[in-house]
Structure 1
Amino acid sequence: LVEIVELKEHPWYIGCQFHPEFKSKPFQPHPLFVSFISACLQGQ
């Protein structure tokens, strides 16, 4: 069973079958969210 897919050529294309938001806490977000927000702030 595939849990997550990504396109390595694309800076931010990812699909996941799990719920990273359930693994997040206000001061300890899941790494997917941290990376996504960082990429947004850098304009990617």
Structure 2
Amino acid sequence: MRHRSGFTLIEMLVVLILMGLVAVLVVPALFPRHHDQSAINALLASA
């Protein structure tokens, strides 16, 4: 039996899922949203 080097499909999927979770947590921290709450309330009230 010979040993294959490389990654299995499951290993690749796990890494991609972990990278996605990290991105979901990190990106909002790097680019915070600065909304004007009074403008949002005015738009919601007029709808």
TM-score by length of 1: 0.36
Give the greater-gyration-radius structure (CA): 2
TM-score by length of 2: 0.34
Whose strand proportion is higher, 1 or 2? 1
